[in-house]
Structure 1
Amino acid sequence: MACHSHHYWPDVTLEAVQQYWRDAAALADNKWGPLFEEKIPAWQEAVARVLGLSAPERIAIAPNTHELVYRLLSAFDLLRQPLRILTTDGEFYSFARQLQRLEEEPNVRVTRIPKEPYATLAQRFEEELHGGDYQLAYASQVFFDSGVVFPRLLEIAARKPERTEFAIDGYHAFFARPSDLAAVADKVFYTAGSYKYLGAGEGLCFMSIPANCSLRPLNTGWFAELAELENRAERVAYADNWLRFAGATMDYSTLYKGLAIFQLFEREGITVEKIHRYVLAAQRRFLDTMDSAGHPLLNRENLIHHDLENSHGHFFTFDCGDSGRSEQLQEELLSRGVLCDRRKQLLRLGFAIYHPEGETYRRVFVS
């Protein structure tokens, strides 16, 4: 039940990795052609279909979302100009740490809106967004520590001020919750990756880019000028597609794995909507089992939630009170064959399509 952290890989990924090796070994430096002309466009189109994006050529890729987000941050002239950022106090470690470091610079100011109470988060965040002079707003679609969905986040993004760039961390929503970005595709940067719910492993993340983006990232790599590599100009130019935010050389084995999974799910008729319905049913079974068990820690009083049916991701988080209790509970669950993870006093239990129906969750509560 740690599938919110690391989904198990479908079996088709083994052949995909071997095919990547065979292609790289046979083609050597000539592998860049098929990668950039066939594999990457296929990946972009698959991601675009899942998210309702009409311009797959504006989906940048990198080994991790931190690289993409920092490339976005670098476009704001961090070295010289004032930068005001609006975010929440519930963002993932890499972004939270990066902001703490940036705040050491005198020109960077960060406003963090408390995520709780969740019922008023949307109102509080949007009021600050329109009331302040922010160059960047950044928020998670599903919070990594609780699994709670940011209420009405896409609506807020659709109404953002023209002066503010808006970035959404969609990692705990992508390939878990149905997400239609069509209405905000030209307004937001959306980041996610393959490590969690797609089940393709680490090493392949993406960021969709709004239309007519003219930002010039200070952090830029040689991939960004692939179209002009053999006739390189002296000036630094940027393409009007995903290469604007491209970096440099990376391992593409996960690209092969991700494409194999997309193809598998298409053959089997497995959609994000079907996955989400299956997980919702699994969560209901878990809650029914939990309610009848009377567990001292795993109960509704300790469950962090807002709206379990409509505003929750694919994992539950329980506040055990302190890190000692959460660690002890994690060890007890592991002794019964239940794998989960924790963040200090918070214990997280995830749900996936490879959890069979029936009495799957009884061992969580019966020692």
Structure 2
Amino acid sequence: MYQKYYRQFLQAAQKAAAPGCDLPVLHMACHSHHFWPDVTLSAVNDYWQDAAQMADSKWDKVFGDKIPAFQRGIANALKLPDPGQIALAPNTHELVYRLLSAFDLKAPLRILTTDGEFYSFARQLLRLEELPNVEVVRIPTQPFDTLAQRFERELQSGNYQLAYASQVFFDSGVAFPELLALAERKPEGTEMVIDGYHAFFARPTDLSAIADKVFYTAGSYKYLGAGEGMCFMSIPRGCQLRPLNTGWFAEMAELENRADGVGFGDNWLRFAGATMDYSPLYKALAVLDLYAGDGVTVDSIHNYVQQNQQRFLTAMDAAQHPLLNRDNLIAHDLENGHGHFFTFRCGSAENAEKLQAELRTKNVLCDRRQQLLRLGFALYHPQDETFARLFT
């Protein structure tokens, strides 16, 4: 029923059809690159038209109209009380590093995280650990059923300046159990970041109880389906951190009356950077407006995807595939603890590569990481898709 939003991407996908296969292309790498709804094409054109017609005065529209509208859409999706506390940047790494730069790197810096974080943050931590004053403690994600207790025990017992954890882990698709409740109990002196990229606009998320306790990061590239280049981080109200990595946008409210020294505002501009391309903002807004106009919510998206996932599991159980089976599926708790993709252990990178190639001959597009094969689910998958072709 939702395929009507994605006609242009779905038609373009057919150009990647495997020779000799008459089945339509089934894009299951959507936990990474989500197809964009058709409305994003006119949104990019609108940005160009605004730039052509308004030149420099387009910034009045961007900052006075478009950014506040996007912030309201994000706040509504996440139950955040103050849209003005949502900072924008081209990627989450820029925002997280700006937060890291607010700590005194001459003083001891202890960071608590997991061993399942996405490459961007994981790589940055490895580099930071080369400094003599930085210590990183990584809690193993597995076994998942005890992760919350193990992480919170260390968080409460250690003197950490920063804690960082994913809401849904990028490699497994497993949701961090009880993460929001855990964050509500974090020590007062510890800043905490929740990486929500693999959960935002996929799993229903209510941040109202912890809006002033955590930083929450995500973006439009994955489940919002608006492409790369538009990310955000929610900022606790009353935050007084002073990022060392700061751009001229952070002085946006004071440009006409600039004082000596480096001042910071009490809203999202505290973590603002500098000039960026705002066509991704127009795309993201177009998607938010499309869904709002048609009554599509995160809850309805999640329910639709879970129905697809359940049909997949039914077909999988009936097929007894040598690799795509319950024993190799890392987790399948759809009710409580899973994102919108499944991850299968294939035993070796060679097995994963071979399986990916076999699925490609059936017009199923997916991706892999070493021995892990990942299969994602999206709104643009037909309501009557059985997924049986994956197992034959």
For normalisation by structure 1, the TM-score amounts to 0.98
Identify which of 365, 368, 374 aligns with 1:348.
374
How far off its partner does 1:221 sit? 0.3
SS at match of 2:99: helix
Match for residue 87 of structure 2 among 60, 79, 94:
60
Counterpart position of 1:186:
212
Counterpart for residue 277 of structure 1: 303
Output the CA distance in 2 between the equivalents of 1:225 and 1:362: 56
Residue 34 of structure 1: aligned partner:
61
Q: Specify the alignment match of 1:48 in structure 2.
A: 75
Output the CA distance in 2 between the equivalents of 1:235 and 1:360.
Answer: 62
Matches within 5 A, 1:3-42: 3-42=30-69
Deviation at 1:329, TM superposition (A): 0.6
Aligned alpha-carbon RMSD (Å): 0.8
Alignment of 1:280-319 (within 5 A): 280-305=306-331, 307-319=333-345
Q: Distance in 2 between matches of 1:355 and 1:308?
A: 18
Mapped partners of 1:111, 1:359: distance in 2: 43
Q: Tell me the CA shift for residue 51 of structure 1.
A: 0.2
Flag the 1:318–1:310 CA change in 2: closer, same or farther, 3 A: same
Q: For residue 326 of structure 1, what is the aligned residue in structure 2?
A: 352
Amino acid at match of 1:236: V
- Tell me, yes or no, if the aligned pair for 1:119 and 1:306 is still in contact at 8 Å: no
Instruction: Quote how far apart the aligned CAs of 1:233 are.
Output: 1.9
Residue aligned with 1:304, SS: coil
2:308·2:385 contact (CA, 8 Å) conserved in 1? no
Are 1:245 and 2:275 counterparts? no
Q: Distance in 1 between matches of 2:182 and 2:359?
A: 40
The match for 2:198 is 172
The residue that corresponds to 2:145 in the other structure is: 119
What does residue 106 of structure 1 align with?
132
SS at match of 1:303: coil
Q: Contact 1:118–1:306 at 8 Å: present in 2 too?
A: no
Given that residues 77 and 218 in structure 1 are in contact (C-alpha distance below 8 angstroms), is that contact kept between their aligned partners in structure 2? no
Report the Cα distance in structure 2 between the residues aligned to 1:241 and 1:120, rounded to whole angstroms: 37
1:133-179 CA distance string (max 9 Å, x none) = 00000000000000000000001100000010010000011000000
Unaligned runs of 5+ residues in structure 2 are 1-27
C-alpha distance in 2, partners of 1:89/1:359? 35
Q: Residue 126 of structure 1: CA displacement? A: 0.2
Paired amino acid for 2:78? L
Deviation at 1:364, TM superposition (A): 1.1
Tell me which amino acid in the other structure corresponds to 1:226: M
Alpha-carbon distance between aligned partners in 2 of 1:49 and 1:138, rounded to the nearest angstrom: 24
> Would you say 1:145 and 2:184 are equivalent positions?
no
Runs of 4+ residues deviating >3 angstroms: none
Question: 2:287 & 2:384 partners in 1: Cα distance?
Answer: 26
Q: Unaligned regions of 5+ residues in structure 1, if any?
A: none
Indicate the residue corresponding to 1:222 in structure 2: 248
Measured after TM superposition, the shift of residue 365 of structure 1 is 1.2
Shift of 1:31: 1.1
Instruction: Count how many residue pairs are aligned between Structure 1 and Structure 2.
Output: 365
> Contact conserved, 2:87 with 2:232, CA < 8 A, in 1?
yes
CA deviations over 1:89-112 (Å, ceiling 9, x no partner): 000000000000000000100000
Cα distance in 1 for residues equivalent to 2:83 and 2:89: 15
Greater displacement, 325-334 / 226-235? 226-235
In structure 1, what is the equivalent of residue 237 of structure 2?
A: 211
Structure 1 residue 306: Cα displacement: 6.1
Separation of aligned partners in 2, 1:263 and 1:215: 33
**Secondary structure of 2:251's aligned partner:** helix
- The answer as to whether partners of 2:345 and 2:373 remain within 8 angstroms in 1 is yes
Question: Structure 1, residues 38-97: CA drift from partner, whole Å, max 9, x if none?
Answer: 10000000000000001000000000000000000000022x111000000000000000
Q: For residue 211 of structure 1, report the CA deviation from its aligned partner.
A: 1.5
Give the TM-score, by structure 2 length: 0.92
Q: Give the letter aligned to residue 89 of structure 2.
A: A
Is this contact kept in 1: 2:315–2:386, CA < 8 A?
A: no
